Structure 1
Amino acid sequence: MMKNSFRLLWSGQMLANLGDVLYIVGIITFLYASTESSFVLAMLPFLNTFGRFMSGMVSPILMNRYSLKTLLVASQVSKTIVLSVLATWNTLAQVPVLFLFVFILTIALLDGWALPATDAMLPRIVKKEELVKANSFVSIVTESTQLGGWAIGGVLASLIGGQNLLWLTFILFVTSTVLLNGILDPVPFKKHNGEKRMIGELSEGFKVIWRSKLFRVIHIEMVMEAIANVVWVAAIIYVYVDEVLGRSEAWWGYLNTCFFLGMIAGGSICARFHNRLEHKLRSYMLGASFVVVVMTLSFGFNQVAWVALVLAFFHGIFGQVKGVGLNTFLQKEATGEQLPKIYALQSGVLSLIFGVSTLLFGALTEWVGVQYVFMLSGILLWIGTVYLMFYRFVFPKYCKTQEVKIHM
């Protein structure tokens, strides 16, 4: 039964994530055709990030009142309804740009509590000794969807048009809703309505993290990583390709593809060797963290195009191993009641930090040059690695496990 719920969770979220990509591609075709403005297009990721941040910050209140499954299904049902309104309106008449922004923000707000709910649901329906493999598999699915979704969306947009992409997304959202509704949560829900003041509910995740040294260490490292990884956003990579590599804009796509392929490969390695990783998860996580530092600094110094592809690929591999390690330690040590609150705060705060850091690193790229920005990123990651090494004692040295089989 747990295996079936796991299949429903990852497949439902895969279809939802693919739909999120396709509907954005469809809206991009409308916006570019009507405005031809890069600033207007830049509003899409901003509204997405801002909406998910706002929703993530208030999600602890919802999680105290509704079960994780209810939140997952309600999020997807609401997104489906909003998208159907957008698709119908745009079929009858072109939706004004301002209202397109409203739809994007609304869907992002509705999606904001789905990610922490999904992350918190995973350890409930997967055995602890299977978490490394399960997290790795979900990472593979997520990164594959991101990598393939944009390529598929671009092809479909040229073949069937942006309007039909909206209706295709509607079908994906409906299917996703049906799948998520079939999940069985084995943990009984305890409603906390009226027991605490609202400000206390919003701060629950922070209190849980702050009171545990392990959770503090994990999230301080995640904050450092969120700031440092801003260098991989399109705007900075595009400048790197133009000014450092001296190549055409097509190389921006090559680098991103290698990076995502590396993440998929890293997830596959974790899934394949999950038993070995479970036994020495701390050592592998710290080793991967060090390699990520080396890859980032090397990327900043490098001026050879094919070497950049190799570095991006290996950065993706070891970055994925590190991420799976941090997430698995968090899931193993937190209780079923703590995890939703932790993930809710984590999702909102990291989204905000990433958004602000994008603006700061973008400005630094213009002021000091893109190579120095990569070096700054490497230094931040090095500080984070030293921090992890210093507090490595808070991570369990070995994760006891047994040989098990899990069917994804």
Structure 2
Amino acid sequence: MKSQSFRFLWMGQSMANLGDVFYIVGLISVLYALTESPFMLALVPFVNMFGRFISGMISPLLLNRYPLKRLLVYSQVCKTILLGALSLTLVLNTTPNVLIILSFVLFIAFLDGWAAPASRAMLPRLVPQEQLVQANSFFSIIYESVNLGGWAFGGLLVAFLSGQTVILFTLGLYLIATLMMVGIVDSTPFHRHKSEGRRNGELTEGWRIIWKSPLFRSLHIGIVFEAIANVVWIASILYVFVTEILGETEAWWGYINTSFFIGMIIGGVICSRFTAVIENNLKYVLIIFSFGISIVTLLFGLTTISWLSLVLMSINGILQQLKGIAVNTFLQKTATVEELPKIYALQSALIALLFAVSSLGFGAIAELWDVRITFILSGILLSVAAIYTVIYRRHFSVNETA
């Protein structure tokens, strides 16, 4: 945890994540001023997820040929160049083409699609095995703190300045992130995989790694259910729930999101304080909190009391954080240094695809029937994932790799 490279990693990733938040906030402001179309605003997260999905699917080709640090640095450098080009486009052209703006969103998301898995896979290389739970907790606290403050502060910046100015400010954050990532020292040897003309095999390598391991397979079956179920927390569904069920103004959408991020931060603090207990009981942490998340989701969907929804959302954030740390620790302790980035890349692509598809399905349910049905369905899916974890609990054991 005292490693200089670890500090460079979390500081660089924090600057990059904060930049990502500011850039999206600024871009949404610019797009709304140009089009005043909610549909165009909805295209931003869709295009963002689509770019990440494509990137995640082809990332094994890159991971087999380049060290993680190089991918991290190159990705951040290219993101910085693209954002600079986008800034110039917005400054020099008072009415820029919306399709050109969305193209920038697509390519920046594409670059992020392999940077995020590479960053997570880099972490266990920079800290000792016995400090992984603590390092994951710290990383999560920083990440959620950036999210909690970034959206609020980004909104204030847009209100007092402008979307174009916020994007220019993001360019500075990206430059700092690039310099931090250049300073990382990864002593893990890299062995370049020789291509023998079978790129289809390389592209499916992540699938094979996950499927051949009972632990990885069981973890990702649960992740699939959760990725579909967690779509209920997207803005379009939560906004309808706040106005129609809770009977509150749109400000409560912000309060609920803030409660969730506060819960995530509290969960990270709890994990860092009770590292040994959690590390020695990863299987039970996974099972107990899986059931806890499903119950809290059901209760949230059934409540009509505004203050209770905030409490339930905070509890959900705590449980999600602790469970997420357990899942990451299982992967980081068991996967080899070559397998881990490919697992994270596929996981990222899978979640992005499921999010995009499920958001349409859950959105249709919320529009055609009652929005509470989406939360009931989500709770059922999460319960299925929890029951699956209990049935196959023998798979959840750590076999540490060097």
Q: Please, what TM-score do these two structures have when normalized by structure 2?
A: 0.97
Bigger Cα displacement from structure 2, 216-225 vs 268-277: 268-277
**8 Å Cα contact 2:242-2:253 kept in structure 1:** yes
3-state DSSP class of the match of 2:78?
helix
Say if 1:278 and 1:398, in contact at 8 Å, map to a contact too.
no
Contact (CA 8 Å) 2:334, 2:399: kept in 1 or not? no
Displacement of 1:84: 0.8
Deviates more, 1:246-255 or 1:68-77: 246-255
Offset at residue 196 of structure 1 (A): 5.5
How many equivalent residue pairs? 399
* Shift, 1:397, TM fit: 7.8
Q: 1:193, 1:335 → 2: CA distance?
A: 19
CA distance in 1, matches of 2:307, 2:113: 38
The runs of 5 or more residues in structure 2 that have no matched partner are none
Matches within 5 A, 1:3-402: 3-94=3-94, 95-195=96-196, 197-396=198-397
Identity level (%): 54
Amino acid at match of 1:374: F
CA distance in 2, matches of 1:26, 1:236: 23
> For each residue in 1:266-300, what CA deviation from the matched residue of structure 2 results, as whole angstroms up to 9, or x when unmatched?
11111111112111122122111111111011112
SS at match of 2:64: helix
On the 8 A contact 1:2/1:125 being kept in 2, the answer is: no
Structure 2 equivalent of residue 404 of structure 1: none
| Contact persistence 1:140–1:268 (CA under 8 A) | yes
Displacement of 1:80 after TM fit? Answer: 0.5
Q: Tell me the alpha carbon deviations over residues 88-111 of structure 1, each in whole angstroms, 9 at most, x when there is no partner.
A: 222222322121111111111111
Offset, 1:255 = 0.8
Whether the 8 Å contact between 2:330 and 2:398 is mirrored in structure 1 is no
- Asked whether the equivalents of residues 259 and 312 of structure 1 are also in contact (C-alpha less than 8 Å), the reply is yes
Distance 1:75 1:276 in 2: 37
Q: Deviations over 1:338-377 (max 9, x none)?
A: 1011111111111101111111111111222111111111
Q: What letter is aligned with 1:69?
A: K
CA contact (8 A) 2:56 2:345 kept: yes
Work out the CA distance in 2 between the residues paired with 1:276 and 1:3.
Answer: 24
- CA distance, structure 2, for counterparts of residue 372 and residue 163 of structure 1: 40
Q: Distance in 2 between matches of 1:321 and 1:29?
A: 34
Q: Which secondary structure state, in structure 1, belongs to the residue aligned with residue 326 of structure 2?
A: helix
CA distances 1:21-76 after superposition (whole Å, capped 9, x unpaired) = 11111111211111111001111001100001111111110011110000000000
Residues 289-334 of structure 1, C-alpha deviations (whole Å, 9 max, x = no match)? 1111110111121111111111111011011111111111111111
Structure 1 unaligned spans of 5+? 400-408
Is the 8 Å Cα contact of residues 9 and 181 (structure 2) preserved in structure 1?
yes
Asked if the contact 1:281/1:398 (under 8 Å) is kept, the reply is: no
Compute the displacement of 1:140 (Å). 1.2
Aligned equivalents of 1:184 and 1:195: distance in 2?
A: 30
Q: What amino acid sits opposite 2:306 in the alignment? A: A
The 1:192/1:398 distance shift into structure 2, 3 A limit, reads closer
Deviations along 1:127-181, one digit per CA (max 9) or x if unpaired, are 1111111111111111111121111111111222122112111110011000001
Q: Structure 1 residue 398: deviation in Å?
A: 11
Structure 1 residue 2 displacement after superposition = 7.0
Amino acid at match of 2:279: E
Q: Distance in 1 between matches of 2:190 and 2:9?
A: 18
